[in-house]
Amino acid sequence: MTEQGFDSMNGMEFDFLKEIGNIGAGNATTALATMLKLKVEMQVPKVALLDFQELPEILGGAENPIAGILLTLRGEIEGMMMFVLEYSAARSMVNLLMGQEKPVEEPLDEIEASALQEVGNIITGAYLSALSNLTNLAMSPSVPYISVDMAGAILSVPAIEFGKIGDKALLIETEFGEKASSVNGYFILIPTLEAYNKILHSFGM
């Protein structure tokens, strides 16, 4: 493995990160199902390496309202982990969680925002523990931070971090939910360059 960013990633490295994504998202889905006491199905996650300009397009364009939950990572893997979903999806998830049926356009109140923050915390935690088990690298996540705003604005945070190492971002899309009310969520793992190389080294690359 050369000490480079995502831009020069080869097929084997991409497959490896995809596998981490699969297992991580699988863990996260189980955690979500337990929390919502629902049978939650998960589609096979899609993993993509995107130009960071394209990131907001996945979430309905730069001005579309989305919810982002961000954790910073310390330890052997340093960086950030983000879970993002469209605002309407966040609203349905919160409704499911709280057993209510508020309209999609209604903003989250304080209790609802902290419920969503907790959902983000649990599913990113499940994702990260898979990453930690697979790589044998320890990390400790911070408390989760939440923000609801335009997609471009929220995604500027990971884009800037990726921007330090290159022009691409690694995105893992996961579709959760029952058929009727499926919810699309996206994980964005933003390791520092050093951590990224450590992750690949852990698999002998």
Partner 1 sequence: MGTMIKVGMADLNFCHEPDAITTLGLGSCVGVVLYDPVKKVAGLVHIMLPDSTKIKNNENKAKFADTGIEEMLGIIIREGATRARIKAKIAGGAQMFAFSTENDLLRVGTKNVEAVKAELLKLRIPIVAEDTGKNYGRTIEFYPETEELLVKAVGRAPYKI
In the complex, what is the shortest distance from the CB of residue 86 to partner 1, in angstroms, rounded to a whole number? 13
In the complex, what is the shortest distance from the CB of residue 198 to partner 1, in angstroms, rounded to a whole number? 17
Q: Is 177 in the site for partner 1 (CB under 8 A)?
A: no
Q: Is 49 in the site for partner 1 (CB under 8 A)?
A: no
151, exposed or middle or buried, with CB in 10 Å at 0-12, 13-18, 19+? buried
The C-alpha torsion from 57 through 58 and 60 to 61, rounded to 10°, is: -20
> By the 8 A CB rule, do 29 and 42 touch?
yes
- Alpha-carbon distance 190 to 169, whole Å? 8
Count residues binding partner 1 (CB under 8 A). Answer: 36
Q: Is 75 in the site for partner 1 (CB under 8 A)?
A: no
Q: Is 86 in the site for partner 1 (CB under 8 A)?
A: no
Q: Is 151 in the site for partner 1 (CB under 8 A)?
A: yes
- Alpha-carbon distance 113 to 116, whole Å? 5
Among 13, 95, 145, 184, binds partner 1 (CB under 8 A): 145
Alpha-helix runs per DSSP H in 99-202: 110-135, 151-163, 193-201
Length in residues, the chain: 205
* Side-chain-facing half-sphere of 199: CA atoms under 13 Å: 30
Q: Is 56 in the site for partner 1 (CB under 8 A)?
A: yes
Q: Is 149 in the site for partner 1 (CB under 8 A)?
A: yes
Q: Is 122 in the site for partner 1 (CB under 8 A)?
A: no
Among 166, 184, 198, 203, binds partner 1 (CB under 8 A): 166
| Contact footprint for partner 1 (CB under 8 A) | 5, 7, 52-53, 56, 61-63, 65, 68, 70, 72, 80, 107, 142, 145-157, 159-161, 163-167
